[in-house]
Amino acid sequence: MLVHLFRIGIRGGLVPGRSLFSHRLQSFSAVRSPDGHFSSCLLRAMAQLRSQLRAHFSRVPSATPPSKSAPAWCWLGGALLGPVVLYKHPRLYLLALCEAREAPPAHPIPRVTQSQFNWQLFWHFLRPYLLLLGAAIVLALGAALVNVQIPLTLGQLVEVVAKYTRDHVGSFVSESWNLSTHLLILYGVQGLLTFGYLVLLSHIGERMAVDMRRALFSSLLRQDIAFFDAKRTGQLVSRLTTDVQEFKSSFKLVVSQGLRSCTQIAGCLVSLSMLSPRLTLLLMIVTPTLMGIGTLMGSSLRKLSRLCQEQVARATGVADEALGNVRTVRAFAMEQREEEHYGAELERCRTKAEELGRGIALFQGLSNIAFNCMVLGTLLVGGSLVAGQQLTGGDLMSFLVASQTVQRSMANLSVLFGQVVRGLSAGARVFEYMALSPCIPLSGGHSIPKEQLQGCVTFQDVSFSYPCRPGFQVLKDFTLTLPPGKIVALVGQSGGGKTTVASLLERFYDPTAGMVTLDGHDLRTLDPSWLRGQVIGFISQEPVLFGTTIRENIRFGKLEASDEEVYAAAREANAHKFICSFPDGYDTIVGERGTTLSGGQKQRLAIARALIKQPTVLILDEATSALDAESERVVQEALDRASAGRTVLIIAHRLSTVRAAHHIVVMANGQVCEAGTHEELLRKGGLYAELIRRQALDTPLLSAPLPKTPRHPWNHWHRT
Ligand X SMILES: Nc1ncnc2c1ncn2[C@@H]1O[C@H](COP(=O)(O)OP(=O)(O)OP(=O)(O)O)[C@@H](O)[C@H]1O
Residue ranges binding ligand X (CB under 6 A):
229, 466, 468-469, 474, 494-500
Q: Counting beta carbons within 10 angstroms of the beta carbon of residue 439, is it exposed (0 to 12), middle (13 to 18) or buried (19 or more)?
A: exposed
Between 343 and 495, name the residue whose CB sits nearer to ligand X.
495
- Least distance in angstroms from the C-beta of 556 to ligand X: 23
Is beta strand 457-465 parallel, antiparallel or unpaired with respect to 473-482? antiparallel
Between 466 and 530, name the residue whose CB sits nearer to ligand X.
466
Between 302 and 498, name the residue whose CB sits nearer to ligand X.
498
Range 182-195 burial, b when 16+ CB lie within 10 A, else e: ebeebeeebeebbe
Between 155 and 543, name the residue whose CB sits nearer to ligand X.
543
Between 304 and 490, name the residue whose CB sits nearer to ligand X.
490
Between 380 and 468, name the residue whose CB sits nearer to ligand X.
468
The amino acid that residue 574 corresponds to is: N
Between 159 and 621, name the residue whose CB sits nearer to ligand X.
621
Q: Counting beta carbons within 10 angstroms of the beta carbon of residue 115, is it exposed (0 to 12), middle (13 to 18) or buried (19 or more)?
A: middle
- Least distance in angstroms from the C-beta of 450 to ligand X: 31
- Least distance in angstroms from the C-beta of 629 to ligand X: 21
Between 497 and 713, name the residue whose CB sits nearer to ligand X.
497
- Least distance in angstroms from the C-beta of 672 to ligand X: 13
Range 561-575 burial, b when 16+ CB lie within 10 A, else e: beeebbbbbbbbbbb
Query: Which DSSP letter does residue 17 get?
Result: G
Give, to the nearest 10 degrees, the angle between helix 259-275 and helix 393-434. 160
- Least distance in angstroms from the C-beta of 669 to ligand X: 10
Q: Sheet harboring 536-539: ordered strands across?
A: 536-539, 617-621, 647-651, 487-492, 663-668, 671-676
- Least distance in angstroms from the C-beta of 646 to ligand X: 21
Between 588 and 625, name the residue whose CB sits nearer to ligand X.
625
Q: Which of 1, 9, 2 is nearest to 404 (CA)?
A: 1
- Least distance in angstroms from the C-beta of 464 to ligand X: 9
Q: Which of 480, 482, 478 is nearest to 455 (CA)?
A: 482
Q: Counting beta carbons within 10 angstroms of the beta carbon of residue 715, is it exposed (0 to 12), middle (13 to 18) or buried (19 or more)?
A: middle
Note whether 213 and 244 are within 8 A (CB). yes
Question: In angstroms, rounded to a whole number, what is the distance separating the alpha carbons of residues 202 and 427?
Answer: 17
Between 393 and 497, name the residue whose CB sits nearer to ligand X.
497
Range 269-298 burial, b when 16+ CB lie within 10 A, else e: bebbeebbeebbebbeebbeebbeebbebb
Between 292 and 470, name the residue whose CB sits nearer to ligand X.
470
- Least distance in angstroms from the C-beta of 462 to ligand X: 13
Q: In angstroms, what CA-CA distances link 236 with 227, 498, 639? A: 11, 29, 36
Between 77 and 496, name the residue whose CB sits nearer to ligand X.
496
Between 164 and 466, name the residue whose CB sits nearer to ligand X.
466
Show the beta-strand stretches assigned E in 215-340: none
Question: In angstroms, rounded to a whole number, what is the distance separating the alpha carbons of residues 244 and 263?
Answer: 28
The amino acid that residue 712 corresponds to is: H
Say which residues have a Cβ less than 8 Å from residue 589's Cβ, sequence separation at least 6.
547, 548, 549, 596
Question: In angstroms, rounded to a whole number, what is the distance separating the alpha carbons of residues 371 and 669?
Answer: 74
- Least distance in angstroms from the C-beta of 47 to ligand X: 25
Between 223 and 311, name the residue whose CB sits nearer to ligand X.
223
The amino acid that residue 290 corresponds to is: L
Q: Which of 198, 313, 311, 306 is nearest to 255 (CA)?
A: 198
- Least distance in angstroms from the C-beta of 472 to ligand X: 7
- Least distance in angstroms from the C-beta of 227 to ligand X: 11
- Least distance in angstroms from the C-beta of 225 to ligand X: 8
Enumerate the H helices of 12-37 as residue ranges: 22-29
- Least distance in angstroms from the C-beta of 498 to ligand X: 4
Is 37 strand, coil or helix?
A: coil
Provide the Cα torsion 639, 642, 644, 645; round to 10°.
-140
Between 566 and 649, name the residue whose CB sits nearer to ligand X.
649
- Least distance in angstroms from the C-beta of 575 to ligand X: 25
Enumerate the H helices of 556-628 as residue ranges: 563-572, 576-581, 599-611
- Least distance in angstroms from the C-beta of 674 to ligand X: 15
Q: Counting beta carbons within 10 angstroms of the beta carbon of residue 174, is it exposed (0 to 12), middle (13 to 18) or buried (19 or more)?
A: exposed
Between 345 and 621, name the residue whose CB sits nearer to ligand X.
621
- Least distance in angstroms from the C-beta of 657 to ligand X: 13
- Least distance in angstroms from the C-beta of 676 to ligand X: 19
**Beta bridge pairs of residue 517:** 458, 522
Question: In angstroms, rounded to a whole number, what is the distance separating the alpha carbons of residues 315 and 349?
Answer: 8
- Least distance in angstroms from the C-beta of 511 to ligand X: 13
Say which residues have a Cβ less than 8 Å from residue 212's Cβ, sequence separation at least 6.
125, 244, 247, 430, 434
Question: In angstroms, rounded to a whole number, what is the distance separating the alpha carbons of residues 33 and 15?
Answer: 25
Between 238 and 499, name the residue whose CB sits nearer to ligand X.
499
Question: In angstroms, rounded to a whole number, what is the distance separating the alpha carbons of residues 720 and 715?
Answer: 9
Between 281 and 468, name the residue whose CB sits nearer to ligand X.
468
Give, to the nearest 10 degrees, the angle between helix 38-59 and helix 22-29. 140
Question: In angstroms, rounded to a whole number, what is the distance separating the alpha carbons of residues 234 and 207?
Answer: 24
